[in-house]
Amino acid sequence: MLKKPLIILAVLAVSYQSQAQQTPAMTTNTGAAVGSNQYSKTAGENGSTLLGDVHLLEKIAAFDRERVPERVVHARGTGAYGEFESYGDFSQYTKASVFGAKGKKTPLFTRFSTVIHGKDSPETVRDPRGFAVKLYTDQGNYDIVGNDLPVFFIRDAMKFPDMVHALKPSPVYNRQDANRVFDFFSNVPEATNMFTYLYSDLGTPAGYRHMDGFGVHAFKWVNTKGEVTYVKYKWTTLQGVKSFSREDIGKMQAQDFQYATTDLYASIGKGDFPTWELSVQMLKPEELNKFDFNPLDATKIWPENLAPSTKIGKMVLNRMPDNYFDETEQSAFSPGTLVPGIEPSEDKLLQGRVFSYFDTQRYRIGANFQQLPVNAAKVAVVNHNQDGSMSYHKSTSNVNYQPSTSHPAEGFTDTPAHEASHAPLLGTTTQVKISKTNDFAQAGILYRGMSEKDKQHLIGNLTADLSAVQNKQVVYKMVSYFYQADADYGQRLMKSLKLEKKDVTSLVKN
């Protein structure tokens, strides 16, 4: 009697294998094969991402248009106005005037946010926090767009839509699911460092005032001679870093699920203005290959002993917006909002974000989002862009093109000072993983530097989510990454999750 069911199972198994072998190759929306869906096309291994990577642009453009009108990421946010004061003259490194004189003050708008969760979600959940600052400089607006943690999950923009899809609710049952999250990240070993930060208590800051901010990416400072210095930004809270434990989260969420906004409003309202100091780490171009990791990899920090920090100024927040929608919700940031003397580095994740953020804002707010008061520059905007939804250019000239022989004064001119900023492109087109991945070393250093209490919280927080994953192979792979970061780290997780060591260590690559 058992023979028929066994035969049916065998047929199903063969059918499944046949289907697996016939898995179609990924294509663009027009049916062309994409090549690699993991790595962007770049000018050499460490070169800039190419505009000719049609699949990357199509993929990100489609991703940017997935939500109407809520932000796809960073949906829940709180904004505040303030002022930045420079600590000195840093013109030997950059032409950016905001850093060009001691005591120079620049107005700004800052938006803090949670990243993955929706516009009305609790502010107490475990999640990176966005930390975006718009400086209204006398050379135009400059946005420093980052997070409260110094690294990120991925190093290539090609993976960004997939990562957010995995972190967002299921498209079938509209529920966030640890099975989906770790199914994706079990194939992304470079996320080990970020997970170690995120699942520590730093992943649940006690309000926006009590967290640091990081630019995450490297940028280029360029001086008047065209000399380049790579920099990373850090905002250090002068209120002190404070975090919630997993137990604290539940209590605070029951009391006030919008605690971070309440705390910020109350502080500014009583004149206790939140303050952060801005510092930069610096590397010369010839120093980029000195390390056992790629300094342009967004999953890595620059250790202080290799690139010491220099304090360059401070930010004070002293006024809340008058209207949430007009100012905070319609505020728009982009790592591509730059001023002369600051350029994006060749960081592959940053290169995609430079396109993605502008594209997102045009879709979310409109073609002329930069004319809204919260986004508008405080200096004259002079170009021939025109029309579109909600345009307020107020152009009165008949010359809306360049060059013009009849009216040369109305055709505008280029600015020669920009020419010194352009670095040459070297290399050939590639679409490969970077050579110095070193995915686990920094996570291990971070773990070993934690107190015993912090280690216990980290293991408990990871266990809480990993224990919900049904596919044990996914759990084994995730734990194998933490084991490769530090043996004690991995062994504690094995014990907490009741895993056999051999099931984990068998996945460790020699």
Tell me which residues are annotated as active site: 74, 147
Are 76 and 125 within 8 A, CB to CB?
no
Structure token pair of residue 115: 């990243």
Total residues belonging to the chain: 510
Are 482 and 493 within 8 A, CB to CB?
yes
Torsion angles phi and psi, residue 104, rounded to 5:
-65, 130
* Cα atoms found within 13 Å of the Cα of residue 287, Cβ hemisphere only: 12
**Interacting residues of 378 by C-beta distance below 8 A, sequence separation 6+:** 107, 136, 137, 138, 141
Q: What angle do CA 366, 73, 166 make, to 5 degrees?
A: 130
Structure token pair of residue 268: 């500014």
Torsion angles phi and psi, residue 279, rounded to 5:
-130, 160
**Interacting residues of 319 by C-beta distance below 8 A, sequence separation 6+:** 80, 81, 82, 268
Structure token pair of residue 382: 């002079």
Residues facing residue 243 across a β-bridge: 205
**Interacting residues of 404 by C-beta distance below 8 A, sequence separation 6+:** 410, 411
Q: How far apart are CA 94 and CA 337, in angstroms?
A: 16
